[in-house]
Amino acid sequence: MGNADSDVVFQSYGRCCNNEYFFVDFYDRFMGSSEEIRALFVNTDMAAQRHLLRNGIMQLVLHARGMPDTKLRALGCSHSRSGYNIRPEWYGLWLDALLATLQQYDPYFEDATAQAWRRALEPGIELIRGAY
């Protein structure tokens, strides 16, 4: 990810991630995309989960800037078939739900913002999905 992309992504995330409802709406949307996905979170403390995801997305963005991938490897492990068993095809729904929620909350969101987000997150998502 070039610095132009990372600036766009950091600024976009800054306009969204301090709003608790951003993560509420993300999970509503993500769980609404599949009954199987909703079932994975029936026993989850969603208030805690929203905070964990706030940090997880930051890890994905920092990975794109060359940060060590230790934390993403741990997520790859917890999400793998011997962990939460998160099927690889579900990551596309995750990214679609994230982009739709960013569009909803970021007043400056445009096509270029969406493209910058996709480019920034894809390598980190690939690392987690690839650990399946």
Q: Give the x-and-dash track for 5-44 against ligand HEM (CB under 6 A).
A: --------------------------------x--xx-xx
- How many residues sit close enough to ligand HEM to count as binding (CB under 6 A)? 21
d(C-alpha 128, C-alpha 119), whole Å: 16
The answer to whether 62 contacts ligand HEM (rule: CB under 6 A) is: no
Residue in 19, 17, 8 with CA at minimum distance from that of residue 120: 8
Among all chains, which residue has been given the structure tokens 């905070």?
51
**Which segment (16-24, 61-69, 87-95, 112-120) binds ligand HEM by CB under 6 A?**
87-95
**Cα separations (Å) of 126 from 17, 60, 89, 95, 106?**
23, 10, 11, 12, 25
Binding site for ligand HEM (CB under 6 A): 37, 40-41, 43-44, 49, 52-53, 56-57, 60, 75, 78-79, 84, 86, 90-91, 94, 125, 128
